[in-house]
Structure 1
Amino acid sequence: MTSNTTIYRNATVFTGDASVAPRESFAVREGRILAAGDLDAVRLAAGEAEEVDLAGALVTPGVIEGHSHMLMLGESLSKVQLRDAKTVAEVQERLAAARAANPEAPRVLGTSWLFDIFEEGERPTAAMLDAAVPDVPVILDANDLHSVWANTAALEAMGITRETPDPVGGEIVRDENGDATGFLIETAAVKHAWGYLDEVATDDDRDRYLAAAFAAYLETGVTGATEMSFGHPDLAAYRRILDRDGRLPFPVNAHWMLTATGDLESDLAQIAEVASIRDELAARYGDEWLRIAGVKFILDGVIDACTAAMRAPYANGELPGPIWEREFALPTAVAADAAGLQLALHAIGDEASTIALDMVQECIRVNGPRADRRPRVEHLESVADDTIARMAALGVTASMQPVHCDPAVLDHWQAVLGDERAHTGFPWHKFREAGVPLALGTDAPTAPHEAPNNLFIALTAKSALDHSREAYQPQRVFTPANALEALTLGAAYATRRDGEAGRIAAGYRATVVVWSANALTDAPEALLDTEAALTMVDGEVVHGKV
């Protein structure tokens, strides 16, 4: 008779809690952790069991991706990759090659171009892309996913003319004649470029994108994701998987992406719609696999494009305002909070994170204190000390992405700030010292999705893309245990799933990863470009083999 219990022994078992010493074994029964500890105790708890020797490998709870865009990630894996392109000419060469390789394709899509490729004062133009591919639409997402570079055919396909107005919080960049130049910023990119791609994508396309994202994450030990750009196309794709399989490859916590309309009634209507969809989804499927946890406010843009809301001007003198003004942001946040929707607040600039904390405080003032509120601020690239102190006082989670400060992508980021702020970004150490809860992620596909490389940057402040680069402010780095906690239990806490995930402890879901390199004992460089040796979801091995 085959036992339904498996003991995994001879391992370094990090439980998810940095304050707890690693265990040497754990047992799994019926998709749950039965016990974790020394081998004799685990054997006593397990009784008759099969045993698997893990040869001393590091085992942790499965990584919970703290900030992701699943459909975009899956789609981006098939796009022309531009993150390592050094010049406009190199971008043009890659686009021309992609067009020649697939002449029947109706459009050419690319991703992850960097502002560094442009000469000082130069901006992306359609003419640059027309020189490489003039006959079909070319749409290229910036590395940060906050702007789009498009050719003339794409502008025509999107229906952008001289009369097309700028949306709230965005800009269709125009020349002196009023014609669109091919550069769409913030909500203009979302509305026109992403809206157009949503229209031309089929259900089969979206299903393929989502499957690719799940597979890519499982390969590197990610067993849960926090979806940060959820909307109707995403919802339909996830429903199709749930209707077909009754489950997802791993649990996903979704935040519905709100649109700043400049009209409070419209903003509040969005909250009512999301709450209704959340309730209907939970009634139909439960929330074991897919949960609409809350809403996402994009309060500002990004530093590279000089659209992040800062307290002081950029080096070029610009001082843009936020995408969500306080008069709309605060009452909309209060409505979301009253509906039990968790706040996820995109705030890259120090002024935006100030607004984010104002929103949290307004929710507490109007709706009263609540233990399960767990608001979170995303990115926090340039943040003031007083904001960190407020976050600690209010129990607000800092959701941050080490891959965003890979030194290989920071040159332009530092240049546009141009002062001491260029050297004080991403202050992980200050959050830790203040006692702010931390959750780490990648924001894929704005950055590489691989968990081992993300962990490498957290441990070293060095580049996973260009090993010749010097570390960026290495005093910020995590200890291995603290970084692993932020990737697992910290992210589970931020998604309000810490009662079932993020720990290797009795009663928790048996969702774990066996790493190919041991971050607790090996040199961090051993992590680079590795896959998980084994990934398990609810006791089932879904990547690698025992």
Structure 2
Amino acid sequence: MTARTTIYRNATVFTGEADATPKESFAVRGDRILAAGDLAPVRLAAGDDAVEVDLGGAFVSPGIIEGHAHMLMLGESLDKVQLRDCTSVAEVQERLAAARAAAPDAPRILGTSWLFDIFGDGERPTAAMLDAAVADVPVILDANDLHSVWVNSAALEAMGIDRDTPDPVGGEIVRDAEGAATGFLLETAAMKHAWGYLEAMATDADRDRFLENACTAYLETGVTGATEMSFGAADLAAYRRRLDRDGSLPFPVNAHWILTASGDLDTDLAEVAEVARIRDEIAEQYGDEWLRIAGVKFILDGVIDACTATMRAPYANGAMPGPIWEREFALPVAVAADAAGLQLALHAIGDEASTIALDMVQECIRVNGPRADRRARVEHLESVADDTIARMAALGVTASMQPVHCDPAVLDNWQAVLGDERAHTGFPWHKFRDAGVALALGTDAPTAPHEAPNNLFIAVTAKSVLDRDRAPYQPHRVFTPAEAVEALTLGTAFATRREHELGRIAAGFRANVVVWTANPLNDAPEALLDSAAALTLVDGRVAYSAEHDTMGA
């Protein structure tokens, strides 16, 4: 049977490259782009039997490829009590009490995205604050950055945390002067105890729902691919169930298996070998069209808000935290992963952490030799030194950054804890562009809102989505709309080593396309706010349509 051909016309078609002139139409045959350009030659390529769809002048781009996400965590967060807009501890308490009243039989209350700004000077989260709202069941609240967790006394008990529970490598169970846990878990302590507890409580049906939630939410905002950055055994099982059921996923996913620093080199090397074995097994069983275990992720440091990111100079409070992965472990483990063909994704928020990240890449090159497809990437780069940017360009390392992380509404505490000129030099997108560093943009959902148009709005304005009266943060850094759309599409395809099949509207590429309800090239940036996809295509199929009965021939 001949595959159906559809021409989409009367549009502004951004084909993937910022300096390319938009086209007026494109054609899809089966799961591939057949042609893009002026309508007459596209019609000639499509043939007389093609169906035509008038897009009414809409802006069209390659589907957004989410550059950094936590898929199951995003899907789970959509079921949680949302706390990002809370401005005080009292408001958090009110929401938790309301959630408990609405679900009196719930075994636990889960919340997400609280901000450090709600606490007074020198104040930190405590279990007692949450006990005042809900004391009878565990309460577990993820911070906005997903690097710390705030819990009540019932949760500490459920997780088995007491005075004798040791801190894991790279983490801290915050304690009072008597040694009792206060209800605040940092970094790997949050991962091991809070996330580990929730993972043990979740069922397969829960995880399947989380994956479905995330995919649906992304398709509605024009995302047709994702880069998974916290992959593990439970995530893999959920993806396998979906692949076994459907033979496909809602869109392609590149996954990075998260490595946990153990403090023992043999243990870390064994984990890398196991990830490589799983990658090969999955590729043999399913191919890599939909799910590709691309590499591994090292979390080298924490976050600036909690003063756990690793910096070259102290925070305003004098703190100088070390890295989660010390060089003596990070370098040989990176070399082993690189030798196995696993792509390195290196979480580095502080300027010293990004130095360590590049030391790892350079050691891989020294030991394993140069390789064109290495595509090492550093994630976040919130505070980064100029010499690091130059070094990234020389080493061919991609900068994976998230505009929503510098929404001015979430920067008050971030700036205060730095306390010096670093508070005004963060997120230097312009310096990466000027140095020729490859850029891939994403959201890091659920640490920040997942909606692609709002992410794009911040990239082109440096203004706030969450508090629209705020002044922009360092607006000289902004992208042009075309630069930003490229970094959200072709840039992320390059970063995931899929630039030969995704990220362009060009002949032979997979027909992953989004029709937008706003035009970032021509409209005022404010038109992007809270907009969504009108139509999302994945491999030529309609994966989401906002207006089924208004799209027509």
- For the criterion TM > 0.5, the same-fold answer is yes
Task: Measure the CA separation in 2 of the matches of 1:200 and 1:417.
Answer: 38
The aligned residue for residue 16 of structure 1 is 16
The aligned residue for residue 108 of structure 1 is 109
How far off is 1:24 after superposition? 0.6
The amino acid across from 2:27 in the alignment is A
**Which stretches in structure 2 are left out of the alignment for 5+ residues?**
none
User: Cα 1:498–1:177, aligned 2, differ >3 Å: closer, same or farther?
Assistant: same
How far off is 1:2 after superposition? 9.8
TM-score, normalised to structure 2's length? 0.98
The aligned residue for residue 211 of structure 2 is 210
Task: Measure the CA separation in 2 of the matches of 1:437 and 1:246.
Answer: 33
The aligned residue for residue 232 of structure 2 is 231
The aligned residue for residue 310 of structure 1 is 311
How far off is 1:4 after superposition? 1.3
Percent identity of paired positions between Structure 1 and Structure 2: 82
- Provide the aligned C-alpha RMSD in A: 0.8
Task: Measure the CA separation in 1 of the matches of 2:323 and 2:227.
Answer: 24
Task: Measure the CA separation in 2 of the matches of 1:51 and 1:134.
Answer: 60
Task: Measure the CA separation in 1 of the matches of 2:210 and 2:255.
Answer: 17
The aligned residue for residue 251 of structure 2 is 250
The amino acid across from 2:452 in the alignment is A
How far off is 1:19 after superposition? 1.8
The aligned residue for residue 474 of structure 2 is 473
The aligned residue for residue 486 of structure 2 is 485
Aligned to 1:139, the other structure's residue is in SS state strand
Task: Measure the CA separation in 1 of the matches of 2:512 and 2:38.
Answer: 20
Aligned to 1:310, the other structure's residue is in SS state coil
Task: Measure the CA separation in 1 of the matches of 2:2 and 2:70.
Answer: 41
How far off is 1:476 after superposition? 0.3
How far off is 1:299 after superposition? 0.2
Aligned to 2:120, the other structure's residue is in SS state coil
How far off is 1:197 after superposition? 0.2
Task: Measure the CA separation in 2 of the matches of 1:467 and 1:215.
Answer: 27
Whether the aligned pair in 2 keeps the contact of 1:456 and 1:528 (CA below 8 Å) is yes
How far off is 1:3 after superposition? 7.7
Task: Measure the CA separation in 2 of the matches of 1:233 and 1:424.
Answer: 39
Task: Measure the CA separation in 2 of the matches of 1:460 and 1:531.
Answer: 18
Please list the CA deviations of residues 208-256 of structure 1 after superposition, one character each: whole Å capped at 9, or x if unmatched.
0100000000000000000000000000000000000000000000000
Task: Measure the CA separation in 2 of the matches of 1:395 and 1:18.
Answer: 20
The aligned residue for residue 134 of structure 1 is 135
1:371-386 maps to which residues of 2 (within 5 A)? 371-386=372-387
Please list the CA deviations of residues 373-407 of structure 1 after superposition, one character each: whole Å capped at 9, or x if unmatched.
00000000000000000000111000000000000
The amino acid across from 2:8 in the alignment is Y
The aligned residue for residue 192 of structure 2 is 191
The aligned residue for residue 86 of structure 1 is 87
How far off is 1:94 after superposition? 0.2
Aligned residues: 546
Task: Measure the CA separation in 1 of the matches of 2:370 and 2:389.
Answer: 20
How far off is 1:179 after superposition? 0.6
The aligned residue for residue 73 of structure 1 is 74
Task: Measure the CA separation in 2 of the matches of 1:208 and 1:541.
Answer: 21
Task: Measure the CA separation in 2 of the matches of 1:446 and 1:192.
Answer: 19
The aligned residue for residue 520 of structure 1 is 521
Whether the aligned pair in 2 keeps the contact of 1:3 and 1:50 (CA below 8 Å) is no
1:348-359 maps to which residues of 2 (within 5 A)? 348-359=349-360
Aligned to 1:100, the other structure's residue is in SS state helix
1:54-69 maps to which residues of 2 (within 5 A)? 54-69=55-70
The amino acid across from 2:207 in the alignment is R
1:120-519 maps to which residues of 2 (within 5 A)? 120-519=121-520
The amino acid across from 2:34 in the alignment is L
The aligned residue for residue 529 of structure 1 is 530
User: Cα 1:504–1:87, aligned 2, differ >3 Å: closer, same or farther?
Assistant: same
Aligned to 2:249, the other structure's residue is in SS state coil
Whether the aligned pair in 2 keeps the contact of 1:16 and 1:488 (CA below 8 Å) is yes
TM-score, normalised to structure 1's length? 0.99
The aligned residue for residue 40 of structure 1 is 40
Whether the aligned pair in 1 keeps the contact of 2:301 and 2:347 (CA below 8 Å) is yes
Aligned to 1:11, the other structure's residue is in SS state strand
Task: Measure the CA separation in 1 of the matches of 2:16 and 2:181.
Answer: 50
How far off is 1:41 after superposition? 1.1
How far off is 1:542 after superposition? 1.1
Aligned to 1:313, the other structure's residue is in SS state coil
How far off is 1:530 after superposition? 1.0
Task: Measure the CA separation in 2 of the matches of 1:159 and 1:244.
Answer: 37
Aligned to 2:85, the other structure's residue is in SS state coil
